[in-house]
Amino acid sequence: MNHNRDPEKIKGMFDRISPRYDLLNRLISLGLDMSWRKRAVEMIGTVESETVLDLCCGTGDFISVFHKRYQERLNIVALDFSAGMLTAARKRFSEKKYPRLLLGRADAMSLPCRDESIMGVTIGFGIRNVADRPMALREIYRVLKPGGRLVMIEPSQPPGKIMGPLFSFYFKKISPFIGGLIGGDKKAYKYLNDSFVAFPPPDKFLEMMQAARFEKTKAVPQTFGTAMIYYGEKPIRPF
Ligand SMILES: C[S@@+](CC[C@H](N)C(=O)[O-])C[C@H]1O[C@@H](n2cnc3c(N)ncnc32)[C@H](O)[C@@H]1O
């Protein structure tokens, strides 16, 4: 499938859906996304006093999970290329209330971070939208400290004769319908579903992570396989 991941179009689309993104996210994932995020933060390991990066941060759901777990005992950098999503994130997380949070505009393919400065990177439902995923993975590898971890969540096609078709129907028909009804942008939600179909299967995506030199890579299915948590580490000795 030729799925167009033109960064300008994607940026505009996220700008448009940003005001209602949180509500829709909860509805479409039936509230399960927050439990997946908690698991992802646990998989990042103990990062007290360190700096973590939430990439493609959107409205900042990962910020709240990190903050609940560590309060002010952690620096959080949250980056996204959509101004609309960042505005929504800034409304939720003011710099006054979150003094150790830095919210900024950046493209995942060119990170404004020093080499080996970050202990953990999370991406929630973002990597599938990035135009050049191998380039983003190489950038993440560059900014991670040796021993640092990358954890990503993406929806996934569950196996089985019941869950498989049920999930396809839900993703193809129900979620664009909800997106159109509440978000007023059926096209955007149709795009999000198409981008899911165009995302490589877990074994191929793990190969992409390995090609970017990540080690101990794994794909951990969540909730009957409807989502996948991807994990990889930058080796302590990257030689
Ligand atoms: C589906 S939303 C997910 C937002 C958030 N991570 C979450 O879990 O709810 C995808 C986000 O990725 C951002 N994004 C897509 N491509 C990007 C890129 N190349 N660089 C930075 N952000 C990007 C979009 O602007 C959007 O906010």
Q: Where are the alpha helices (DSSP H) in 18-121?
A: 21-28, 33-43, 61-70, 83-92
Q: Confirm if 53 and 204 have CB atoms less than 8 A apart.
A: no
Phi, psi for residue 153 in degrees, rounded to 5: -115, 135
Q: Confirm if 135 and 164 have CB atoms less than 8 A apart.
A: no
One-letter amino acid for residue 103 of the chain: L
One-letter amino acid for residue 204 of the chain: K
**Closest approach atom of ligand 1 to CA 14:** 25
Cα 38 to middle of ligand 1, angstroms: 18
Residue nearest to atom 17 of ligand 1 (CA): 130
Task: Map out the domains of the chain with their CATH numbers.
Answer: 7-233 (3.40.50.150)
Tell me: the pLDDT tens digits for 200-218?
999 999 999 999 999 999 9
* pTM: predicted TM-score of the whole model, two decimal places: 0.91
Q: Confirm if 178 and 28 have CB atoms less than 8 A apart.
A: yes
pLDDT at 238: 53
Provide the pairing of β-strand 227-233 with 215-222. Answer: antiparallel
Task: Kindly tell me the burial class for residue 24, based on how many C-beta atoms sit within 10 Å of its own C-beta (0-12, 13-18, 19 or more).
Answer: buried
pLDDT at 91: 94
Cα 126 to middle of ligand 1, angstroms: 4
Q: CB of 21 closer than 6 A to ligand 1?
A: no
HSE-up of residue 91 (Cα within 13 Å, Cβ side): 12
Separation of alpha carbons 168 and 185, rounded Å: 20
Over 60: is that where the pLDDT of 1 sits?
no
Which of 55, 63, 80, 228 is the pocket-test mutation for ligand 1 (most atoms within 8 Å of CB)?
80
Which of 32, 56, 110 is the pocket-test mutation for ligand 1 (most atoms within 8 Å of CB)?
56
Tell me: the pLDDT tens digits for 67-123?
999 999 999 999 999 999 999 999 999 888 999 999 999 999 999 999 999 999 999
Cα 153 to middle of ligand 1, angstroms: 12
Distance of CA 231 to the CA centre of its chain: 12
pLDDT at 183: 66
Separation of alpha carbons 83 and 220, rounded Å: 32
Name the strands in the sheet holding 75-80, side by side, starting at the edge strand that comes first in the sequence: 101-105, 75-80, 51-55, 118-124, 144-155, 227-233, 215-222
Q: CB of 80 closer than 6 A to ligand 1?
A: yes
HSE-up of residue 165 (Cα within 13 Å, Cβ side): 2
Residue nearest to atom 25 of ligand 1 (CA): 82
